[in-house]
Amino acid sequence: MSSPILVTGGTGTLGQLLVPRLRDAGREVRVLSRRAQPAPADPGVSFVTGDLPHLVYISIVGADLVKFGYIRAKLDCERLITESGLPWTVLRATQFFDLVMTGARPLARLPIVPAPAGFLVQPCDADEVAARLADLTLAGPAGRVPDFGGPEVLSFADLLRGYLLARHQRRPVVALPTPGIAAIRSGGLLVLAQSDFSAPSEFSGGKLTWAEFLSARLTPARG
């Protein structure tokens, strides 16, 4: 009988998509949570505290190139994991579409929509990342695996224009010079910019585009 799989962050955006995939694979899942949770409807899912078995960690593409606080913290976590002595797998992914949409929503209310010039990203679908994480979890420890990104490289201005188009909103998008993002302008957040995993055969990529994601998630604005 297979051992239960412990999912850390199982109540978050990605975790809520990962848990049912592991259940579909026939595995019992335990979700590590810092706070008490109501009893789940699925008897194969339970909320617990405990030790870490095979540790599968989701990090961010460019963690060693882009020095923003949250991304730097991800790199620190990677180092702790690799030095922990535990069996481990680390997957770096680009920004989720959900996060991009959360940032686009308030900006789209402005009469003129600002965007940082040269801010290049390769966003991906969280559900596709969940599928990849499920496969990695079931396969066993693999160390650092190829990075995961979406099928398109877009500027933040492009993302905002796509959001406005999906909402049928007319707003000018203005790209503004932004200091402190030289690493991002150089492709620091892009999968294909990472030296360790630049070969096309090693690129683990998503299929869903930004426009397809928006079409499925948004309804046109009224008026």
Residue 1 pLDDT greater than 60, yes or no: yes
Strand 88-93 to 55-60 pairing: parallel
Q: For residue 116, what are its two tokens?
A: 């940082």
Is the distance from CB of 125 to CB of 101 less than 8 angstroms? no
Q: For residue 201, what are its two tokens?
A: 């055969």
**DSSP structural state of residue 129:** H
What does the alpha-carbon distance between residue 206 and residue 85 come to, in Å, rounded to a whole number?
Answer: 31
**pLDDT, mean of residues 186-192:** 89
* Angle between helical axes of 126-139 and 15-24 (0-180°, round to 10): 50
* Whole-model pTM over 0.85: no
Residue 163 pLDDT greater than 90, yes or no: yes
Q: What is 79-92 written as a DSSP string?
A: HHHHTSSS-EEEEE
**pLDDT, mean of residues 120-136:** 96
- How much is the mean pLDDT over the chain? 89
Q: Strands (DSSP E) along the chain, which ranges?
A: 5-8, 29-32, 45-48, 55-60, 88-93, 113-116, 120-121, 143-144, 148-149, 154-155, 173-176, 204-205
**pLDDT, mean of residues 186-212:** 73
Q: For residue 95, what are its two tokens?
A: 């920004």
**Of residues 204 and 18, which shows the higher confidence score?**
18
Domains of the chain: 54-217 (3.40.50.720)
**Of residues 150 and 222, which shows the higher confidence score?**
150
Is the distance from CB of 191 to CB of 203 less than 8 angstroms? yes
Strand 113-116 to 148-149 pairing: unpaired
Question: Would you state the pLDDT for residue 204?
Answer: 61
Of 19, 53, 142, 23, residue with least CA distance to 91: 142
Question: Would you state the pLDDT for residue 200?
Answer: 41
Question: Would you state the pLDDT for residue 143?
Answer: 95
Three-state SS for 4-30 is CEEEECCCCCCHHHHHHHHHHCCCCEE
Least-confidence region, from 139-153, 165-179, 193-207 = 193-207
Least-confidence region, from 35-39, 103-107, 126-130 = 35-39
**pLDDT, mean of residues 29-44:** 86
